[in-house]
Amino acid sequence: MSDTNQAMAEKYRNNFLKEVEANVEEGDWVKMCMQCGVCSGSCPLGKFWEHPPQEIFMMIRAGKRDEVLGSDSMWMCTSCYNCIVRCPRELPITHIMHGLAHYAKRLGLVPGNQPTSKFAQMFWDNLMKKGRVNELKLGMSLYFMNGFGEGVKTALKMKDVGLGMTKTKRMNPMEILGGHAVKDLSGFQKAIKKAQELEDKRIEQHGA
Amino acid sequence: MAKHEYSFYPGCSSQKGASSSNYLTSVQTMCEELDIQLNEIPDWNCCAASIGYAGGGELPRLTLSARNIALSEEHNPGQDIVATCAACWLSTREAAERLEEDQSLFAEANEALAEAGLKLKNDTPIKHMAEVLIEDIGYDAIGEKVKKPLEGIKIAGYVGCQTNRPFGIHGESYENPKYLDKLVDTLGGDSLPGYEKKVQCCGGALAFSEPEKSQEMVKGIIEAAYDHGADMIVTPCPVCQMNVEVYQDQINETYGTKFKMPVVYYSTLMAVAYGRSAKDAALDGQVIPAKQLDELAAK
Amino acid sequence: MADEKKFAGYICTGCGIGERLDAGQLETTAKRDGKMAEVKQHEMLCSKEGVAMIRDDIDNNGANHIMIAACSRRAKVEAFNFTDVAMSRANLREGVIWLRPEGDEHQETTQEMADDYIRMACAEVKFMTQPSPSGEQTLNKTLLVVGGGVTGMTSSIEAAKAGYPVHLVAEEAKLGGVWADLYKRVPFRAAAVDVPNSKKADLPQPEDPGIDEMVAQIEADSRIRVHLNAKITKTSGAPGRFSADISTESGSTATENFGAIVQATDYKPYDANKLPEFAYGKTPDVVTNFELEKLAKEANGAPLKRPSDGKEVKSVAFVQCAGQRSEKEGHLPYCSGFCCTESIKQAMYFKAQNPGCDATVLFDDLRTPGAAGEDFYRSGQQAQVTFSKGKVSEVVADGGDLKVKFKDLILNEDTEMDCDLVVLATGQVPHVGPDPYAQLAVDEAEDEEEKAKAQAILEVAPPSILNLDYRQGTDLPQLKYGFVDSHFICFPYETRRTGIYAAGPVRRPMDMKQAMEDAVGATMKAIQAAENAARGSAAHPRVGDLSYPSFRKEGCTQCKRCTVECPFGAINEDEKRYPLFNESRCRRCGTCMGACPVRVISFENYSIDTVNQQIKNVEIPDEFEEKPRILALACENDAYPALDMAAQAGEELTPFARVIPVRCLGSVSLSWITDALNSGYDGIVLMGCRRDEDYQCHFVRGSAIAAERMSKVGDTLESLNLEPERVAVYEVAITDIKRAPQLINDMAETVEKIGMSPFKF
Amino acid sequence: MTEVVATNETILVVGGGISGMTAALEAAETGKQVVLVEKRPYLGGRVSQLYKYFPKLCFPTCGLEINQRRSKMNPNLTILTMAEVTGIKGEKGSYTASVKLSPRYVNENCTACGDCAKAVEAEFDDDYNYGLSKRKGAYLPYRMAHPALYVLDPRIIGTDDAQKAKDACKYEAVDLDMAEETIDFPCGAVIWATGWQPYDAAKIQPYGYDRFDNVVTSVEFERMADPGGPTDGKIVRPSDGEEAKKVAFIQCAGSRDRNHLLHCSRICCMASLKQCTYVSDAYGEDADISVYYIDIRAIDRFEDFYEKVQAIPQVKFIKSKPASIVEGTDKRPVVHGVDTEGYNRFADEHDLVVLAIGMEPSVDKDSFPVDIVINREGFIEAAPENGGVFAAGSASDALDVNRSVQHATGAALRAIQVVNGAAGVEG
């Protein structure tokens, strides 16, 4: 158990709902769910969810901390916003799912090899480097995220796609060396760093 | 017709050599025809789309968009921000609204931006190009420009998710938006209003990490298009376009299907209908060529 | 009104009557057989001219008994509205030509049908007299309100506001009743118009119960006289002239007169000792929702402490539907309606006093209807009350802490939660007197087992509240589960004790807002009853009817049937066991008339004769003419309109039928049946309303009583040795547009099978 | 020119549905002068369009017959149909009401003989049947319509049909020169009983009411079940008239939903339970009924009825707000969602889906004639600021018939308090 996880578990002993409200993006909406299940039924990847959103909200209220944060369900979210527009109680479910995923990540509770969590992290790291996403590098690092052998396989599997993209000039091998970037990179990075600090501080106080 | 001017946010995928560079090309052609001037936001950054959440917390992600808006407000004052990418549009508009409703977040975002010497006013409307076409230009004006009607071409309007939800185009429904069909009709093509997968998610966010899941959904989208006799699919979203177009071979492999369904941007359709060259319409960007359009453009 | 009866008949030839029928012959029939001194035809009798013609005869030619042959008595009522004369109507349009096909082959029988209806209407009006107010009551505006709770207080305040003085009788030492201990009440209103919908929205919060204000208002109102520690020891009389003895604990008794009465005795809290499974009684930390209000009131805003050890409550669980919505012995089968919002409110007490306190509501269906209801649900969620769909099986007290064992229906698992305090959302039990028919049930029990059951009920019956000196018992009749509600969807204030109206939770479980609204409605009805009694006019549904039952004492055999069968307990008995009619308690249904074996009871405008003469004046062709006659007696509210609408819809009816509308099947006298059979009718069809537990009869028991009586008609038929099929009793609804005529046609077929009646002369 | 005799002791009742009728009759039967204003050409409102009432399963027309007889007999009651209140001026105890009267083109001479309808050819959607059937351009709104006068549809005025109707009438009842008029009269108190309207089902996009033939609303289904209705009481699929045996009832269709009506419409659960019995009565063991719900709100003694329906083996209850409906093979609606009790996904194909449609108050929030307290959902709150104006029935909240009548009876007393005050009877 990571230290932060330990600390949080301590702090909100037996009140996971409060923990979520304090630490998860849009978490204070969770209490407003009336268990109608429209979100669960609306999710295009619904069948892949071990615990659909409405059930996760109930689990949060029931204090099932580990089951929720350790679940890979919220990583199934494709941000299609079906749940948000249909929710009769106005819960920003997509954001709550992202928030839970992010919080689980912070606490290091994401199940190992959860591919989307890895990809999402890479995406973030990738854009943090240059301020803009480098699709090629992103793709490559993705293919190799499960080690070299795996990577070669995936790369080969994706070869034709890549070829098609290159032919149509929608992918540029040269990108691997450098590629697009924000000019004021330092300013960009400072701003985001600052934002992260502020967020950590807020959560700290909010939770306290 | 009065000249329209916008502060333009192309987004990563529209960059040269990126997955939807063809989108940018056709949009530029379309804008020339419609007398729309796009002023790119200088030094814009990535919006983190809706997948940055694992690494980036709420405020850092909001700050990404805040920076773009601030830059726009500084360099293109008084101009509405326009994005062609659904994810860019959504993230930016969502950020603007979150910062609007939560003043403490707004203050923090500005505190962060100060590090880069920027300041956010956050009073700029943020539009998707489709909104510009429908609300600012209008179907009539769009129709007037048509030189080569897309006669006899059956086109399934695939709206996807993020151009449609949670904001969508004013007056359209989440379940059955009709604007792509209206646009196709306006361009003289045959729309397929009965196409029921028009708002089905393509699983874009999982395309890389869990392709089998997203490709299963893409399969449904293409199948339905064939069922309705579509010659091609039109979409306003680069993620949708790429996802639905480029994995068809893999899908055929997995499911034994024989898909070869062209997926084009509305801007490509317009460029062709406006009589511009295949190149201007970025038809050379089609991994699966849209033959009828090639022919029409060649005429 | 003129003593000498002057008869005039009017025949309308409009709406095709003239074309389809021989009006000349109808006129002759009216004169010759109907003995109408004067008969006039008009091509549109309901027109201004037509009406003026009749009006002129009444005003200038002394016509005081008129027969109108035109459309159904349900049509053109406003036009033919001659309230100052006796009037009968022959239904030639809906009743004859619209139900009969055109064509020569039908002409003869159709004309005969019409001629008979003329004869019948003439005969009817001959035996009618114009009703006039009896003056039995004068206007007494004072109301008696029984019950000092919110319902009774509201009733008193609203009556006084309308200018009607009130005596408010409460058995407690102070006003407020079961509501007196409320700390706060569930908000009455929904969110205001400008409130956005969001998690931070400004939603209604628990509010001051307002009891003290009401008490102050009552004390300040000179028109309201309050009797505390008081009971009603005797109630007698009728609307407009009720007399009640109000006795106080001190022993003093005051007798007051009233125009009408409102019973607002509210409810009694359910006895939670019947819920051992929830550890009630085993530990003081399991309380009912009623008891929690007391605790909250005492705490008065400070954090609630648990009764056992005064420890501040850090976690509380609410068990919804405790002892309710359950078939278990001793549980309430119904939902008390108020408990969901009540628990939300109480959970919010804990949140308000200590945001750190966990408050969980364990429910099956959360019932917060309406705009205010759903907003309050949101309000509770906003306050971070946790709602779990769960069924509680058991509450266990181990040491200081409580364990609530329940099945989480969403997460689909048996689980449990620890908490400091458990609140049982228990229900409302109506605070009523004994069921007036409990004794009757004992007397009429079919077998010993049933008798024992009835006896048991009688023994545990609560003490009387009204102590009515009525022949049919001391209190308001009960509908179900002890509630004295009306059984009519359209008429929630229908009462079986005219002039006495139940209000609030005695009618049906309800929350405070509903109880207050209900009180206003009941008060309206009470005021109306007093006003109508003063006019000598009947109460609902025959408001405006001035007729009332009179009876020939010399003929009476004191058989008591009328006093027993009156659905409204309107008839008492004098010391000699003769019936004592109470006009303003009477609803004019005629059930007493139907009950009387010696035919001594009648109304001015509706009597044994007015119907019997119609029956007798139908021409009965002799056997060999193959023209049977079928008598149909139809409830005027449902079966008769159904036949009218059948006519509108172009349904067909046998030309041999003769239909007579009756006020209620309960008013049908066996003598009519016997006489009809004796005078050669071949079949008789009786059409009344649904009479099972979901009865439709607007005089409650009329239809059922009629069915009972008719079950004995077999003997009559036997004595005349006629086939039993010749008399049929049906439940007919107003929607039976195809069925109603069919039933009569079926009888025609039956007659064809079994042959004509031998009793034709 | 229509004449209305009224004083500041007169009570104005707006709306002639069950609530308005009740309020008007209770006041009139207490000896008060009442003017009842109804927008439709007949009284009874939505109740007249119901087949049965819950929980008794009795027939609304039965009580309506009584109420109509009461109103025919009562000398204190003036009824104005096809009339709308356009303005109310003044204050508690002395208002002046302006009422707009639309032309019926048929006068009191009408004997409801029906000759005009026979003569007219033009047909229009029958709004009494929510457009599920057609009616003539000259029509009696329905069999029990009170007043029992025919109506000429304004759309035939100026056409040959209008003349045909006039020529067909033997009683000079058709008056083509009738014109709209507005009349003013005094009143002391106003009872606002404008009732409700079904929420626009097309707005509930995921359920495709506007796209799928076999998705209907509960009010339409009620007409379907009525033997006097558009399908002669047969429960069938609108798409092809085939028997609908597998029927789904979706609760909270437009209610308890921030995208639609925030409030709980209260009646829908009970209405669906009632309609379940229509299906099981019609098809017995062949019936296959699903009720999708969030909470079944069978409040107080209604619980009995809930149990009664639960006992029908052909009815099953699924705790779920369905996510969407898509059209399957043969136009059969497929309901998609998740049963939240234990998390089970479903995609159930039905013959017919009935949306238990929400109750939207027919109170014009934005241009109400006087200053009055209206809540977020558009219902009128009881408040002293409302002066002599009192809501009755579902203008005050989502209420069932029984509660509406109860509430309307109370409203009559509130009005009487005012006019008695005006008359100085008080005290």
Residue C357's closest chain A neighbor by CA?
A: A15
How many angstroms separate the CA of residue B242 from the nearest CA in chain A? 9
Find, among D84, D82, D50, D220, the residue nearest to D153 by Cα: D82
Residues on chain D bordering chain B, Cβ-to-Cβ distance under 8 angstroms: 205-206, 208, 211, 324, 326-327
pLDDT band at A206 (very low <50, low <70, confident <90, very high): low
pLDDT single digits (tens) D175-204: 999 999 999 999 999 999 999 999 999 999
pLDDT reading at B2 higher than 70: no
From CA C147, how far away is CA C149, in angstroms rounded? 6
- HEC secondary structure over chain D: CCCCCCCCCCEEEECCEHHHHHHHHHHHCCCCCEEEECCCCCCEHHHHHCCCCCCCCCCHHHHHHHHHHHHHHCCCEEEECCEEEEEEEEECCEEEEEEEECCCCECCCCCCCCHHHHHCCCEEECHHHCCCCEEECEECCCCCCCCCCCEECHHHCCCHHHHHHHHHCCCCCECCCCCCEEEEEEECEEEECCCEEECCHHHCHHHCCCCCCCEEEHHHHHHHHCCCCCCCCCCECCCCCCECCEEEEEEEECCCCCCCCCCECCHHHHHHHHHHHHHHHHHHHHCEEEEEECCCCCCHHHHHHHHHHHCCCCEEEEECCCCEEEECHHHCEEEEEEECCCCEEEEEECCEEEEEECEEECCCCCCCCCCCCEECCCCECCCHHHCCEEECHHHCCCCCHHHHHHHHHHHHHHHHHHHHHHHCCCC
Chains that touch B (3 or more CB pairs under 8 A): A, D
Phi, psi for residue C281 in degrees, rounded to 5? 90, -25
Neighbours of chain D (3+ CB pairs under 8 A): A, B, C
A83 contacts: CB under 8 Å, gap ≥ 6: A38, A39, A42, A43, A53, A91, A93, A94
Amino acid at B208: F
Residues 177-196 of A with CB under 8 A from B: 180, 182-184, 187-188, 190-196
Q: For an interface test with D, give the residue of C375, C501, C735, C738 to mutate (most D CBs within 10 A).
A: C735
**Alpha carbon distance D199, D302 (integer Å):** 24
> How far is the C-alpha of B287 from the C-alpha of B58, rounded, in Å?
36
**Residue from A11, A31, A50, A89 to probe the interface with C (highest C Cβ count within 10 Å):** A31
Is some CB atom of chain B closer than 8 A to the CB atom of A47? no
For residue C1, what pLDDT is reported?
44
Dump the DSSP string for B157-213: E---STTTSSS-STT--SSS--HHHHHHHHTT-EE-TT-TTTT----GGGTTT-HHH
Q: Verify whether the Cβ–Cβ distance C411 to A17 is below 8 Å.
A: no
Confidence of residue A207 (pLDDT cuts 50, 70, 90): low
Residues of A in contact with C419 (CB under 8 A): none
Of all residues in chain B, the percent with pLDDT exceeding 70 is 99
D207, D206, D231: which is closest to D220 by C-alpha?
D231
Contact flag D31-C525 (C-beta cutoff 8 Å): no
Structural tokens at position B114: 């100060």
Longest dimension (CA), chain C: 99
**Residue D331, min C-alpha distance to chain B (Å):** 13
The closest alpha carbon to B92, from B101, B81, B102, belongs to B81
Tell me the nearest-neighbour CA distance from C605 into chain D, angstroms.
Answer: 16
For residue C251, how many other CB atoms are within 10 A of its CB?
6
- Count Cα atoms within 13 angstroms, Cβ side, for A76: 17
Q: Chain D residue with minimal CA distance to A88?
A: D257
- CB-nearest to A15 from C358, C378, C389 is C358
pLDDT score, position B133: 97
**Amino acid type, A139:** G
CA distances from C271 to A202, B111, C275 (A): 51, 62, 8
Interval D261-289: pLDDT, tens: 999 999 999 999 999 999 999 999 999 99
Give contacts of B18 with chain A, Cβ < 8 Å: 135, 170-172, 180
Band of pLDDT at residue D425, cut at 50, 70 and 90 = low
Per DSSP, the three-state class of C86 is: strand
Which of C217, C367, C479, C605 should we substitute to test contact with D (largest number of D Cβ atoms within 10 Å)? C367
Per-residue confidence (pLDDT) for residue C136, from 0 to 100? 85
Tens-digit pLDDT profile for residues C296-322: 999 999 999 999 999 999 999 999 999
Q: To probe the interface with D, which of A32, A33, A36, A42 has the most D CB atoms within 10 Å?
A: A36
Task: Quote the CA–CA distance of C283 and C421 in Å, as a whole number.
Answer: 10
- 3-state SS, one letter per residue, for C188-215: CCCCECCCCCCCCCCCCCCECCCHHHHH
**d(C-alpha A56, C-alpha A34), whole Å:** 12
Among C197, C366, C386, select the one facing A61 at the smallest CB separation: C386
Chain B residues bordering chain D (beta-carbon distance below 8 Å)? 173-176, 196
Size of interface B-D (CB pairs under 8 A): 12
Interface contact flag, B175 D326, Cβ < 8 Å = no
pLDDT at A1 over 70: no
Query: For residue C196, what is the nearest residue in chain A, using CA coordinates?
Result: A90
Q: Which residues is C185 bridged to in the sheet?
A: C207
- In angstroms, the Cα distances linking B251 to B243, B248, D235, D259 are 11, 5, 44, 37
Q: Where are the alpha helices (DSSP H) in chain A?
A: 3-11, 16-23, 38-42, 53-61, 65-69, 82-86, 93-106, 115-130, 135-143, 148-167, 185-207
- Between CA B112 and CA B119 the distance in angstroms is 9
Nearest C-alpha in B relative to D325 = B175
pLDDT at C196: 86
The structure tokens listed for D275 are: 């309609």
- d(C-alpha B202, C-alpha B211), whole Å: 11
Q: How far is C213 from chain D (nearest CA, A)?
A: 15
All chains having 3 or more CB pairs closer than 8 angstroms to chain A = B, C, D
Query: What is the spatial distance between Cα C512 and Cα C187, in angstroms, rounded to a whole number?
Result: 10
Burial C71-98 (b: 16+ CB within 10 A, else e): bbbbbbbebbebeebbbbbbbbbbbbbb
Contacts A31 to C, Cβ<8 Å? 199, 381-382, 384, 386
D287 contacts: CB under 8 Å, gap ≥ 6: D245, D246, D247, D279, D280, D314
Return d(Cα A111, Cα A108) in angstroms, integer.
9
Rounded Cα distance, A48 and A59, in Å: 18
pLDDT score, position A156: 76
| Nearest partner of C517 among C147, C154, C149, judged by Cα | C154
A167 contact B CB<8A = yes
Set of chain C residues whose Cβ sits within 8 Å of the Cβ of D65: 637-638, 641, 734
- Arithmetic mean of pLDDT, C205-220: 97
Calpha distance A56→A73 (Å, rounded): 9
Residue C442 has what pLDDT?
85
Mutating which of D204, D207, D340, D344 best tests the A interface, going by the most A Cβ atoms within 10 A? D340
For residue B1, the model assigns a pLDDT of: 46
Contacts of D86 (CB under 8 A, 6+ apart): D98, D99, D100, D182, D369
pLDDT tens for each residue of A121-156: 999 999 999 999 888 888 777 777 777 777 777 777
Tell me the chain B residues in contact with residue D329 when contact means C-beta distances shorter than 8 Å.
none
Helices B248-255 and B238-246 sit at what angle, rounded to 10 degrees?
50
For residues B185 and A204, give the distance between their C-alpha atoms in angstroms, rounded to a whole number: 56
Mean of pLDDT over chain C: 95
pLDDT tens string D153-172: 999 999 999 999 999 999 99
Which residue stretches of C269-420 are H helix?
Answer: 289-299, 339-353, 370-382
The rounded distance, in Å, linking the Cα atoms of C672 and B95 is 86
Amino acid at C414: D
Residue among C82, C45, C641 at smallest CA distance from D109: C45
Cβ contact, residue pair C381, A34, below 8 Å: yes
Using alpha carbons only, give the angle A75, A77, A81 rounded to the nearest 5 degrees: 160
Residue of D nearest to A42 (CA): D323
Residue partners of D245: CB distance under 8 A and separation at least 6:
D279, D283, D286, D287, D288, D351
CB D275 within 8 A of CB D221: yes
- Across chain A, which distance is largest between two alpha carbons, in Å? 57
Is the bond into B166 cis (omega within 30 degrees of 0)? yes
ipTM greater than cut 0.90? yes
Inspect the interface and report whether the beta carbons of D205 and B196 lie closer than 8 Å: no
Closest by Cβ to A142, choosing from B208, B242, B287? B208
Residues of A with Cβ-Cβ distance to D320 under 8 angstroms: 36-37, 41
Q: In this structure, are residues A3 and D305 in contact, taking their beta carbons and an 8 Å threshold?
A: no
Residues of B in contact with A80 (CB under 8 A): 161-162, 165, 201
What was the pLDDT predicted at C3? 65
Token pair listed for C6: 């002057």
Give the residue-averaged pLDDT of D236-259.
97
Structure token pair of residue B111: 């505190």
Q: Could you count the other beta carbons within 10 Å of the beta carbon of residue B24?
A: 25
Is C735 within 8 Å of D379 when comparing Cβ atoms? no
For chain A positions 119-158, those within 8 Å of chain B (CB to CB) are 119-121, 123-125, 127-128, 131-133, 135, 138-139, 142, 157
CB contact under 8 A, C199 and A17: no
**Contact: A81, B166; criterion CB under 8 Å:** yes
User: Which range is least confidently modeled, A151-155, B65-69, C179-183, C446-450?
Assistant: A151-155
Nearest to D84 by CA among D65, D99, D97, D98: D99
Angle at C556 between CA C552 and CA C557, to 5 degrees: 175
What's the pLDDT at C228? 97
Chain D residue numbers with beta carbons less than 8 Å from the beta carbon of A34 are 256, 294
Please compute the mean of the pLDDT values over residues C169-187 and round it to a whole number.
Answer: 96
> How many CB pairs lie under 8 A apart between chains A and D?
64
pLDDT at C613 over 90: yes
B45–A132 C-beta distance less than 8 A: yes
Nearest to A61 among C199, C378, C388 (CB): C388
Residue C512 has pLDDT above 80, yes or no: yes
Using the Cβ of A21 and the Cβ atoms of chain B, whether some distance falls under 8 Å is answered with no
The backbone region for C534, taken as left when phi is positive above 0, alpha when psi lies in -120 to 50, beta otherwise, is: alpha
Of D70, D263, D426, the CB nearest to C371: D263
